[in-house]
């Protein structure tokens, strides 16, 4: 049996380009060049059938992280995500040093349009993290 080598994370959203720009800023990702044969992503988008138009893509410029795909859907977000991203800014840090790193990144992300939901303090099993929402209300954690 072949093993899977790559993973793409797909976001359902109302405004794919806006959400893609947000996540590019959060993660240091970039918008890749448009597919071969197209001068711009808008040209590519116009070549698609109407039900497939309005998507956006972000990639990790180092090639390590997963590709992010943002697709337009008609329905809004209704309930809590069953899957979320952990943005790992405090890896290897503990106590006050970890909290300071999380808080600094939280300030940066709020300036980008994220919403701080709550701080979860270390409890003996897990280190502290901050629960947040992106610009369309999708939950993620600063971990």
Query: Is the pLDDT assigned to residue 141 strictly greater than 90?
Result: yes
**Per-residue model confidence as pLDDT tens digits over 41-94:** 889 888 988 877 888 999 999 999 999 999 988 888 788 777 899 999 999 999
- Over residues 83-113, the pLDDT tens digits come to 899 999 999 999 999 999 999 999 999 999 9
pTM of the model: 0.87
> Which band of pLDDT confidence, cut at 50, 70 and 90, is reported for residue 1?
low
22-38 pLDDT tens trace: 999 999 999 999 889 99
Domains of the chain, first to last? 8-72 (no CATH), 85-142 (3.30.720)
Of 123, 124, 119, nearest in space to 132 by CA: 119
Q: What is the pLDDT of residue 116?
A: 98
């Amino acid at each position: 049996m072949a093993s899977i080598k790559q993973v793409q994370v797909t976001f359902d959203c109302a405004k794919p380009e806006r959400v893609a720009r947000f996540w590019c800023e959060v993660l240091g990702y970039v918008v890749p060049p448009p597919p071969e044969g197209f001068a711009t992503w808008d040209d590519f988008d116009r070549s698609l059938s109407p039900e497939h138009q309005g998507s956006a893509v972000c990639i990790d410029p180092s090639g390590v992280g997963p590709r992010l795909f943002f697709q337009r859907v008609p329905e809004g977000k209704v309930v809590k995500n069953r899957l979320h991203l952990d943005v790992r800014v405090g890896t290897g840090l503990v106590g006050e040093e970890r909290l300071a790193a999380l808080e600094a990144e939280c300030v940066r992300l709020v300036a980008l349009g994220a919403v701080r939901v709550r701080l979860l303090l270390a409890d003996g099993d897990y280190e502290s993290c901050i629960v947040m929402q992106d610009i369309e209300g999708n939950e993620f954690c600063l971990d």
